[in-house]
Structure 1
């Protein structure tokens, strides 16, 4: 049987949910500070090129594997390549999503608590020391674990309602609000005195500031930012009807992700330059620098509220996909209900996330390979497991999956020419595996 219990109700629901999976901390938190530290406009241009040449083909590949099998991540590879070791690609994806969600939820909890403590204070006009506030949140074990629990609880509730009534419905509301809030912030940002210098920094490509390391970092960011590599999109596309074009859907998701990256840069860098700050502030840019700046602006409390809600929504829409791949894998046999598996999976992720939540407080002096638990898991997932997963997916769709199925899924419900298919095949078969190897070697410090 190749029948799914649930499907996306519409193409737009699938695209918004897939875009929500891709648009998360990577696009709104990590991308701006990495761009700031890597030269600005030139880095952004290289990132866009690599996203189209690497991220888009990989995303199409995961879509093809998912809908071509009609199964979630683990079963997809077992169905398309029976009696083989390829099923471990799906298992790697589930494990990777589990580990990623365990520390991703810690950051999600920070955002909830940070918003809950700072928004009311701004509304009633209290002065807030944002560096102290952020440090007090991340170092307090009760606050961080409480935030972790609350963030995971929201995910469990949404996923318990299923694909259409849970994930799809949440994304249909949250993603448009995210875009609207972003546009409002961008308008305010670019109308500040001195904003032009920030716009120029972000959009004018000065290649003299680009290093080999920055180019390789843009390579990594290009496929990390699209939620490819852990088969999340395999699971999402397995719920997709046959009357939807996979290349067209992937193209929409990619351009939405690029658009959000553009909005993030336009919302942040004009503000940074208008207030005479440095764009190289690093990871604290969104939690410390920008809230401090907002507090100095007219109606700053309003824009801070919009920003924090936007930040929370982006984090949640990504976490839905991470938990879904786990829930789908363990509920596919039909022995247990989605609701039960959602609660059990969420509880296990919560327990696994506690060491990461304590990494900035009670366990700050405990290290694995000279890293805190939080940083060690982040490094394992982002620098090792994700490139390996992407590499194996490229090999699977190029050399193991039945090519008649690949071709059929690629051309379903579209009128693309054979040339586009040939270009995609060359990229997946030769170019992308080589590039991923280079990124992987750079990430682990070989060069």
Structure 2
């Protein structure tokens, strides 16, 4: 055990940091689109069921791996099972964290650029076609894109270099409530628009005819991505947990809070789109083209659009803190200080992000298997590393760790009995791996449902 390892100062700090790690790009520009595509209210019902039966068991497993080993994402697996090469799961998670952080940093750079644009009025009072051109010019501008990415990474480095309590926990206690307040304000504003309530009713009305094997796989994939399961991020956060926190109960609460905020995001966005007769889009277009065109038509639209951008910036920053922390944690002891390790890893991410940033501009012609560099990094991390990491974690926890260790960690500081434990273990060992394999085979095109 590493007795000098940092720990969370409170259950609240850990909870808010975990929620902040989960709320990111997926919740804001993917969730409304997928929800509208897969039956509205039916999506949220299926999402909740699949999250609690498939994804939550693995989330609990990752926390257990972290706390029982008291180690970073690489050493944790080796410490618990010295024989074999299970540390490769942690290394895969580190790679995934770095790649996802690179993607987040690029998007974060765009958000910073747009905050300036909205403040100066350069994207105000122009139509959707001009906004689309404006986004293309912004993302293709080498200086703007690289500078924005660099500033975003710099902000993340500054927080992570301060450590768990002073950096991650203290910042999360401010940023996550701020995110929630901005969401509530935007939701109230959206619901006051003409026909917004009707649109919300249509959106939330369950359409179970839209639920089929393809939509279930889409929903399950969204659930994995939204809870950041599969890249050892929660192994890292779990390693800072003390024994006074019950992992299953806290994990369930974090999952519910994440679900609630995700619904709020959808409610904040969808009525606004419906009020103006716009269909939800997947990807950056909804944030940088569609929503600005709508806000431009509203009284004080620029104020509300800045609020939306700030909400999005907080969401991706809080996620980026956890991604960089996961990548930095294994190397802290190899450098004279945490700060130096953070700067080195952050600098590495910046170098990786540059080619992906340029794929919207001067390097757009360079492709990897038909995808731009940005798209290739996004595809590998989301469709390969996430599901593989989650699958190997489920197998590792379910079949390689001693039953007594799992029971002790599962029931620590609670009255949860053996029946609840056995149900969790059943879901982890059998239900979750089968679901992940189906997602992976479908995402890679090996099978079609």
| TM-score bucket of the superposed structures, by smaller chain | over 0.9
Matches within 5 A, 1:43-54: 43-54=43-54
Q: Equivalent residue for 1:292? A: 293
Q: Equivalent residue for 2:211? A: 210
Distance in 2 (alpha carbons) for counterparts of 1:294 and 1:425: 48
Q: Equivalent residue for 2:319? A: 318
Matches within 5 A, 1:5-404: 5-121=5-121, 129-280=130-281, 283-331=284-332, 333=333, 335-404=335-404
Task: Give the aligned length.
Answer: 445
User: How far off is 1:35 after superposition?
Assistant: 2.1
User: How far off is 1:285 after superposition?
Assistant: 1.4
In structure 2, relative to structure 1, the CA distance for the partners of 1:282 and 1:335 (3 Å cut) is closer
Q: Deviations over 1:384-434 (max 9, x none)?
A: 111110000000001111221111111111111222111101000111000
Distance in 1 (alpha carbons) for counterparts of 2:281 and 2:23: 22
Deviating above 6 A after TM superposition, structure 1's stretches of 4 or more consecutive aligned residues are none
Confirm or deny: 8 A CA contact 1:57 1:427 kept in the other structure.
yes
Superposition CA RMSD, Å: 1.6
Matches within 5 A, 1:420-439: 420-439=420-439
User: How far off is 1:321 after superposition?
Assistant: 0.8
User: How far off is 1:256 after superposition?
Assistant: 1.3
In structure 2, relative to structure 1, the CA distance for the partners of 1:283 and 1:204 (3 Å cut) is farther
Q: Deviations over 1:137-176 (max 9, x none)?
A: 1111111111110010001100111111101111110000
Distance in 2 (alpha carbons) for counterparts of 1:397 and 1:244: 19
Distance in 2 (alpha carbons) for counterparts of 1:283 and 1:335: 37
Confirm or deny: 8 A CA contact 1:34 1:282 kept in the other structure.
no
In structure 2, relative to structure 1, the CA distance for the partners of 1:210 and 1:280 (3 Å cut) is farther
Higher alpha-carbon deviation: 97-106 or 224-233: 97-106
Distance in 2 (alpha carbons) for counterparts of 1:271 and 1:353: 33
SS of residue matched to 1:286: helix
Distance in 2 (alpha carbons) for counterparts of 1:382 and 1:201: 30
Confirm or deny: 8 A CA contact 1:44 1:202 kept in the other structure.
no
SS of residue matched to 1:107: helix
Distance in 2 (alpha carbons) for counterparts of 1:281 and 1:89: 30
Distance in 1 (alpha carbons) for counterparts of 2:282 and 2:390: 30
Confirm or deny: 8 A CA contact 2:20 2:315 kept in the other structure.
yes
Higher alpha-carbon deviation: 426-435 or 411-420: 411-420
Give unmatched runs, 5+ long, in structure 2. none
User: How far off is 1:131 after superposition?
Assistant: 2.1
Length-normalised TM-score, structure 1: 0.96
User: How far off is 1:39 after superposition?
Assistant: 3.6
Distance in 1 (alpha carbons) for counterparts of 2:335 and 2:194: 61
Confirm or deny: 8 A CA contact 1:99 1:381 kept in the other structure.
yes
Distance in 2 (alpha carbons) for counterparts of 1:355 and 1:416: 49
Distance in 1 (alpha carbons) for counterparts of 2:209 and 2:83: 52
SS of residue matched to 2:371: coil
Higher alpha-carbon deviation: 182-191 or 424-433: 182-191
Higher alpha-carbon deviation: 245-254 or 339-348: 245-254
User: How far off is 1:223 after superposition?
Assistant: 1.4
Q: Deviations over 1:63-100 (max 9, x none)?
A: 11100111111111111011321111111111111122
Give unmatched runs, 5+ long, in structure 1. none
Distance in 2 (alpha carbons) for counterparts of 1:8 and 1:370: 44
User: How far off is 1:53 after superposition?
Assistant: 1.4
Distance in 1 (alpha carbons) for counterparts of 2:306 and 2:384: 36
Distance in 2 (alpha carbons) for counterparts of 1:335 and 1:357: 29
Distance in 1 (alpha carbons) for counterparts of 2:385 and 2:278: 36
Distance in 2 (alpha carbons) for counterparts of 1:41 and 1:374: 32
Distance in 2 (alpha carbons) for counterparts of 1:220 and 1:212: 12
